[in-house]
Structure 1
Amino acid sequence: MPSLSLVAAFDHQVTGVTVTDDGRTFVNFPRWTEDTAVSVAEILDDGSLRPYPDDAWNGWRNANDASPGDHWVCVQAVVADGDSVWVLDPAAPATAHLVPGGPKLVQIALDGDRVARTVAFGEDVAPEGSYLNDVRFSPDGTHAYITDSGWRGALVVVDLETGTARRVLDGHPSTQPEDDVTVEIDGGPLRRPDGRGAVFAADSLALSNDGETLYWKALTGRTLYRIATSALRDESLDADALAEAVEKVGQTEITDGLWIHSSGRFFLTAVETYAVIERDGDAETVVVQDDRLRWPDTMSEGPDGTMYVTASHIQDSPWFKPDADHAVPSALYRFDPAD
């Protein structure tokens, strides 16, 4: 079994990680608490964090009048794609109310670390109660696919050539939490102080290496789904026809992150068992398991095939432990799946 190595430790909760083709590593810290000083950062060689792309983009606060359209409000994911890093900002601090004008997908050119474009999402794509969660990009660079893990799950299809976006499978069973699923962690059910459990809709997301199949599942769910991306891109399909194109892949554990490795191996982060698992057909095996993986969240692949995984410590957050410090430490790890 591969060993888990610490890459960096953080004072606040990390969710997303991405590694570029030349080995640069980026992470993000959602504004789940008001003391989150940096939203997106590059991890430098000495382990320090460089606000990315600059201090100005990381300078938004609820207390000032900075424009939410050109500042990070509550970033959930960072994904490198070729010569760019894309940042997904659901703009819902503490996963609560949306900040108007804030939901967006931003492309940053790695050459010069400059913002190349912003795809803003209106209420038709990111309505109140939404929380855009993760994103994948087609190999030809024409489309992006996003999960919404908010109160009413959905997928979002973005045409990157036109800058338009569509909300699809909104309310479809494949994008919703499953009623009979409870997150069991640290020896018991994960519940808020008022007794409510952890409930999250469409979250986990992966795209096949050829770009032809998209996989997703609700975090609070055990059913993995897929669809041909050709169906997602076909705007002539109505909601019923698109729903008919959804396929059940099978049952799995409660997962947060999905990743299809360049080798074709399918990895999933197993929240309840502090592990990364591999799915091969209907069989699943543990790749790495470690108590330090408190809520293994997002994965990314380095240029040499090394896997990176964040531990976001969601079960330690004020949502579930209101007496905890607002700053919840978290970490980034890596492992070699070939070991």
Structure 2
Amino acid sequence: MTVTVPLAALLLAGAAALALPQAALAQSSAAPGAKLEQVATFPHQVTGVTVAEDGRVFVNFPRWTEDAPVSVAEVAKDGSITPYPNAEWNAWRNARKDEMSPGDHFVCVQSVVADGRGNLWVLDPAAPAQAFIVPQGPKLVRIDLKTNAVAQTIAFDETAAPQGSYLNDVRFSADGRHAFITDSGAKGALLVVDLESGKARRVLDGHPSTQVEKGVVVTADGQPVRRPDGRGVEFSADGIALSKDATQLYWQAIKGRTLYRIPTETLVTAGLNGEDVSSKVERFSENGVSDGLLIGRESGHMYVSAVEEDAVKIRDLEAGPTGEPTILVKDARLRWPDTFGEGPDGAIYVTTSHIQDSAYFKPGAPAALPTELWRITFEPKAKPVN
């Protein structure tokens, strides 16, 4: 099944909730040589994006405010989407949950990541509306990109994904043997997963580095982002990135400004063995409020989603903790830049999930919230390299 949605229809569907002042629409800027272009528009709330080594682009749609008809999709060059790897894996519906086994269907997918080894990994926290976890639903699914078939499913039990958790994003060790996952739920944590055995261990569970930061209020359009009952954005450990040499894992909470890191060796040895690794956590620097993180394969620079500023920033990690993120692109259409992917040509893809425009925070917003996929390209001399 291929789903193609005209841009005009999307604009009409979300016009009331997503209307921007004309002055805001004119606010757009980019670093020299960087160019922002729209790749696709979607009729549903998108979060994750990834690009495989052959250039194929994949996205995912979590069941946050609607019972989305597609969870994981491949994006064609014309912007249309096709459920991936097939319709059956995408057939779960909240209304039919008693008819479908959660272990072999996507329940509420939060992220997709291509590992550069011919696989697409799908992280499913299985918590529609970020609420109650569907039993036997949390999982990490590996899809073989050559056969377009599921090759492995790692199920997470309640010790790895207890009620209240929300597995958010994932990165993979350089040797392809381990996965590192952030949990942005009520009690933040990291997960370390042995991909061969399926063994998973929660680490830094409740540690200050994985929790929301006190005193931080997430804003958008210059105003606090709050639900009608006064609750704000409360996401814990979320953005995650692996250093260019794969020796350091970075992360931060959305409701937070601080960027932390820990040696990956510590996670795959002491962490996976159940030991306390808190002494190895380093408070690296501050990014400001951010959702997605990505460290470029070639440059080693960190891309930062500046959700409060409708911007994507970049920071030179070699500058150390004193270096600060600077604006790469800023555009009023970047409504909550969410997740990054890097193409084989070095282009940076970013989704805009419009969290501040969703029915959580704007009761009059459509349940099926229109969102977008963007690409940042660089002129040859402008491409950030060391």
Give the TM-score, by structure 1 length.
0.97
> Could you list the per-position Cα deviations for residues 195-237 of structure 1 after superposition, in whole angstroms to 9, with x for gaps in the alignment?
1111110001000122110000011000100000111111378
Match of 2:114 among 72, 80, 96: 80
Match of 1:50 among 82, 89, 97: 82
> Could you list the per-position Cα deviations for residues 299-318 of structure 1 after superposition, in whole angstroms to 9, with x for gaps in the alignment?
01000000000000000111
Structure 2 CA distance for aligned equivalents of residues 284 and 211 of structure 1: 21
> Could you list the per-position Cα deviations for residues 225-253 of structure 1 after superposition, in whole angstroms to 9, with x for gaps in the alignment?
00001111113788774100000001121
* 1:41 matches 2:76: no
| Identity value in percent | 60
Shift of 1:45: 2.7
Segments of 5+ residues of structure 2 without an aligned counterpart are 1-30
8 Å Cα contact 2:35/2:378 also seen in 1: no
Match of 1:334 among 371, 375, 380: 375
* 1:68 matches 2:102: yes
Pairing of 1:161-180 with structure 2 (within 5 A) = 161-180=196-215
8 Å Cα contact 1:156/1:165 also seen in 2: yes
Match of 2:303 among 267, 290, 293: 267
> Could you list the per-position Cα deviations for residues 50-95 of structure 1 after superposition, in whole angstroms to 9, with x for gaps in the alignment?
1000000000112221000000000000000120000000000010
**Partner of 1:214 in structure 2?**
249
> Could you list the per-position Cα deviations for residues 126-160 of structure 1 after superposition, in whole angstroms to 9, with x for gaps in the alignment?
00010000000011100000000000000000001
Structure 2 CA distance for aligned equivalents of residues 315 and 116 of structure 1: 36
**Partner of 2:184 in structure 1?**
149
| Amino acid aligned to 1:287 | L
Match of 1:318 among 351, 359, 362: 359
8 Å Cα contact 2:65/2:358 also seen in 1: no
| Amino acid aligned to 2:57 | T
| Amino acid aligned to 2:300 | G
8 Å Cα contact 1:17/1:299 also seen in 2: yes
Match of 2:133 among 98, 103, 124: 98
Structure 2 CA distance for aligned equivalents of residues 132 and 202 of structure 1: 9
The alignment covers a number of residue pairs equal to 339
Structure 2 CA distance for aligned equivalents of residues 252 and 332 of structure 1: 23
| Amino acid aligned to 2:329 | V
SS in 1 for 2:294: strand
**Partner of 2:345 in structure 1?**
304
8 Å Cα contact 2:49/2:341 also seen in 1: yes
Structure 1 CA distance for aligned equivalents of residues 241 and 347 of structure 2: 17
Give the TM-score, by structure 2 length.
0.86
SS in 1 for 2:103: helix
Structure 2 CA distance for aligned equivalents of residues 48 and 240 of structure 1: 46
Structure 1 CA distance for aligned equivalents of residues 271 and 356 of structure 2: 42
8 Å Cα contact 1:307/1:337 also seen in 2: no
Structure 2 CA distance for aligned equivalents of residues 237 and 194 of structure 1: 40
* 1:186 matches 2:221: yes
8 Å Cα contact 1:169/1:239 also seen in 2: no
Match of 2:260 among 200, 225, 231: 225
| Amino acid aligned to 1:272 | E
Structure 2 CA distance for aligned equivalents of residues 42 and 267 of structure 1: 23
Shift of 1:33: 2.6
SS in 1 for 2:364: coil
Structure 2 CA distance for aligned equivalents of residues 236 and 85 of structure 1: 25
| Amino acid aligned to 1:209 | K
* RMSD of aligned residue pairs (Cα, Å): 1.3
**Partner of 1:257 in structure 2?**
292
> Could you list the per-position Cα deviations for residues 182-207 of structure 1 after superposition, in whole angstroms to 9, with x for gaps in the alignment?
00111211111011111110001000
Structure 1 CA distance for aligned equivalents of residues 68 and 114 of structure 2: 23
SS in 1 for 2:309: coil
SS in 2 for 1:335: strand
SS in 1 for 2:256: coil
Match of 1:278 among 301, 314, 318: 314
Which segment drifts farther, 59-68 or 146-155? Answer: 59-68
8 Å Cα contact 1:287/1:337 also seen in 2: no
Structure 2 CA distance for aligned equivalents of residues 136 and 237 of structure 1: 16
Larger radius of gyration: 2
Shift of 1:115: 0.2
8 Å Cα contact 2:201/2:274 also seen in 1: no
8 Å Cα contact 2:304/2:325 also seen in 1: no
Structure 2 CA distance for aligned equivalents of residues 166 and 236 of structure 1: 7
Segments of 5+ residues of structure 1 without an aligned counterpart are none
**Partner of 1:123 in structure 2?**
158
**Partner of 2:58 in structure 1?**
26
Shift of 1:283: 2.2
